[in-house]
Chain A
Amino acid sequence: EAGVAQSPRYKIIEKRQSVAFWCNPISGHATLYWYQQILGQGPKLLIQFQNNGVVDDSQLPKDRFSAERLKGVDSTLKIQPAKLEDSAVYLCASSLSHQNTGELFFGEGSRLTVL
């Protein structure tokens, strides 16, 4: 079974530039999450999708971050314009159903460096 796919793995940009990350969850997984993990901290939930609807985006800085889940499968997270404090690993995770058992399957992450 293929795991959660993310790209790009690494991205270096200057502040005020834009960046987009892509995630393809495990086939059949209805719930998709984007987490931000700053070095030395735990993952922070940015947005949670159930199929193609947003369940929670309370921690998403909506003035600069946006996310969508096309047709309830792939998802894209965009940052525009980027700030220095956005340097982090962006983790995509998926789970099987909305009755969440907490078993999240994570992708390898996209490491963003903002200069």
Chain B
Amino acid sequence: QKEVEQNSGPLSVPEGAIASLNCTYSDRGSQSFFWYRQYSGKSPELIMSIYSNGDKEDGRFTAQLNKASQYVSLLIRDSQPSDSATYLCAVNTNRDDKIIFGKGTRLHILP
């Protein structure tokens, strides 16, 4: 089983709608979870981090964590064309503080 799994997409969402991105992880002892955004040809940049169960909101972005289900998600409200990118889920496995990335989900916001 891969350590961090994401649906590779592409996920197409109309402009103004809610985009929902999902991620599962295998290491039950993981404590820290992150969403990075990567535009085509660019490097990843951190957009959200979450450490405890529940929701964390930052502007149009909401990260959700359920440790019992080993599941983390990212919601993007009022999606904009500029949100079109690959979204990488990353997990700190707590084994030597390794940060493991999923394959990423490609998101297309349709104007």
CB-CB contacts of A92-105 with B at 8 A, as 1s and 0s?
Answer: 00000011111110
Q: What is the interface of chain A mostly: helix, strand, loop, or mixed?
A: loop
For B8, the chain A residues whose CB sits under 8 A away are 40
Tell me whether B46 and A104 are in contact (CB under 8 A).
yes
Q: What is the distance, in angstroms, from A79's C-beta to the closest C-beta of chain B? A: 20
Measuring CB to CB, which residues of chain B are less than 8 angstroms from any residue of chain A? Answer: 4, 6, 8, 32-34, 42-46, 49, 88, 90, 92, 96-104
| Between-chain CB contacts (< 8 Å), 20 pairs | A40-B103, A41-B103, A41-B104, A42-B6, A42-B88, A42-B101, A44-B101, A45-B100, A45-B101, A48-B97, A48-B98, A55-B96, A56-B96, A56-B98, A91-B43, A91-B44, A100-B92, A102-B34, A103-B34, A108-B43
Number of A-B contacts (CB under 8 A): 60
- Bound CA span A86–B51, Å: 34
Q: Which of A40, A41, A45, A102 has the most CB of B within 10 A?
A: A102
User: Given known contacts A100-B92, A102-B90, is B101 in contact with A43 (CB within 8 Å)?
Assistant: yes
Q: What is the distance, in angstroms, from A75's C-beta to the closest C-beta of chain B? A: 16
- Bound CA span A43–B6, Å: 13
Q: What is the distance, in angstroms, from B40's C-beta to the closest C-beta of chain A? A: 11
